[in-house]
A = this chain, B = another copy of it.
Amino acid sequence: MSSRPRRRHGAGREAKRAARRKMPTSTAAYIDRKIPYYELLGDEALELIEHNAETVLEEIGIEFKDFPRALKLFHDAGADIKGERVRFPRGLCRSIIQASAPAEFTQHARNPKCNVVIGGKRTVLVPAYGPPFIRSLDEGRRYATIEDFRNFVKLTYMSPGLHHSGGTVCEPVDVPVNKRHFDMVYSHIKYSDKPFMGSVTAPERAQDTVDMAKIVFGDDFVEQNTVITSLINANSPMTFDATMLGAATVYAEHNQATMISPFLIAGAMSPVTVAGTVTQILAEALAGMAYVQLVKPGVPVIFGTFAAAVSMQTGAPTFGTPEPSLVMYAAAALARRLGVPFRSGGGLCGSKLPDAQAAYESANTLVTSALAGVNFMLHTAGWLEGGLVMGYEKFIMDADQASMLAVFLAGVDLSENGQAMDALREVGPGSHFLGAKHTLANFETAFYRSPLADSNSFEQWQEEGSLDAAQRANKLWKSTLAAYEAPPLDPAIDEALLAFMDRRKAEFADREY
């Protein structure tokens, strides 16, 4: 971390500056939806899928690879174990989950104003996760660095539409794999005060994340509250591996949340049909969440879903097409019936560029996510090229859409002011509302104002350089980063985090992994 010393010494001054100004996080910490879910399927169809998922669990079973603890826990709970294959009596996983998993929970942020509630009618919007590359108009596509990572943490911090700092907002490939998680977790804590995700690439990295959180929040607070939410992907089809199970176990033992996410390119890792894919998602999520509840009953767990569709021509994943939307609506309803929070969606796309393909696909997925009732919307901003690339311009575009989702989910104001009968009476036929009292009284709050979209006249747009959306987004991410000021962080905590990282990094300086 080349910039650490400067940051370290400047922390006090930065903290004071940040405390003086209006924080970008002063908007709502999360969305409390006021509009109904879109219910694609009726009870009968959902019951059929639930029945089929139980059949998968009972007859086919789920493999828990290289992880005897899961086999032991499931055996004791009444499952049938053959090798690493676990077959579950009908309803076993569901009853384990429903006995203890919370319907919603608070993930605490180091700034309590940024605490998010996950579950129920809440929507928490989170940047993209995992891309090893970045793309910008200036540099094109290249491997991501820790500087990019910090930039996206800062951009997320500055985005009122995003509620959560995320996790691996990009892979900082310039940092060794076995030390990377320290710098990522530290960046989330240092450069933002929104909640964040933890490392899942090894159990000890999960433990490091917990330990760093304890430095920030205190030991007791962490053991009694949730301050980390982490992504546990299934190794679909119908398999969980030791790495993910190990990380999930560490988090569960420390009362930290995990989202158990079947990760499917339908047609490759699941059947080519919507109903078959949803069946598999439910079976995998039930098994994974049941494991977490067996480790620590009552720990927060999220029903995750990531589903794209395979291109039957190329074998590549496709996004924003109808089938994944249908899958998401069905899976969200199944999570509600189970009574647990739901993670899915975001601004998913297969496009290489922040172009029209990226936008159609992302918008299709974002709208679906909002209407389906996704509680934790990972990949809301920045995602390009099937998740291989984090785009600077794409991030700005998606963050704008994220802000729109909050307005949409707030629904229709039916107050007297919202009904606007006075305005209709004042203006009447043949006139216009631009100067009406009601219009002026509502001027500041009326209608979403995009910082990115151009609604000027053609002539004005030409005068300003005939820029497309990506070119305008390029200016916007640069001006946003230029305006960034770090949120205050207690210098003692900062120093303790850095000391912890120095010590831990030194412990395996001679290890390659």
Contact = CB atoms under 8 A, between A and B. Distances in A.
Contacts of A274: 412-413, 418
A40 B36 contact: yes
Contact of A419 (B48, B60, B318): B48
Interface in A452-482: 452-458, 460-461, 466, 468-470, 473
A450 B272 contact: no
A351 B455 CA distance: 7
Interface string A279-314: 110000000000000000000000000000111111
A17 interface: no
A430 B466 contact: no
A419 B351 CA distance: 30
A412 B55 CA distance: 20
A169 to B, nearest CB: 20
A293 B189 CA distance: 66
A388 B39 CA distance: 37
Most B CB within 10 A of own CB, among A40, A59, A312: A312
Given A311-B449, A318-B453, A237 B432 contact: yes
Contact of A363 (B273, B276, B323, B359): B359
A434 B315 contact: yes
A247 to B, nearest CB: 20
Contacts of A67: none
Interface residues of A, number: 124
A400 to B, nearest CB: 8
Contact of A428 (B60, B424, B446): B60
Given A321-B448, A430-B238, A41 B412 contact: yes
Contact of A270 (B61, B280, B386, B433): B433
Interface stretch (A112-120, A211-219, A255-263, A435-443): A435-443
Contacts of A397: 356, 360
Given A356-B355, A357-B469, A313 B419 contact: no
Interface in A325-375: 325-326, 330, 350-364, 367-368, 371
B458 A313 contact: no
Copies of this chain, whole number: 2
Contact of A273 (B39, B273, B310, B446): B446
A317 interface: yes
A355 B470 contact: yes
A330 B407 CA distance: 16
A243 interface: no
Contact of A385 (B358, B407, B458): B458
A255 to B, nearest CB: 30
A280 B419 CA distance: 10
Given A425-B60, A448-B321, A454 B271 contact: no
A385 B456 CA distance: 9
The 4 closest A-B pairs by CB, nearest first: A276-B420, A359-B359, A363-B363, A271-B420
Interface of A: 35-36, 38-41, 45, 48, 52, 55-56, 59-63, 85, 141, 235, 237-239, 266-277, 279-280, 309-318, 320-323, 325-326, 330, 350-364, 367-368, 371, 385-386, 388, 397, 401, 404-405, 407-408, 411-414, 417-421, 423-425, 427-434, 436, 438-439, 442-443, 446-450, 452-458, 460-461, 466, 468-470, 473
Given A273-B420, A274-B413, 11 more contacts: A36-B40, A60-B425, A267-B446, A268-B433, A312-B446, A323-B447, A351-B469, A356-B397, A356-B470, A363-B363, A371-B371
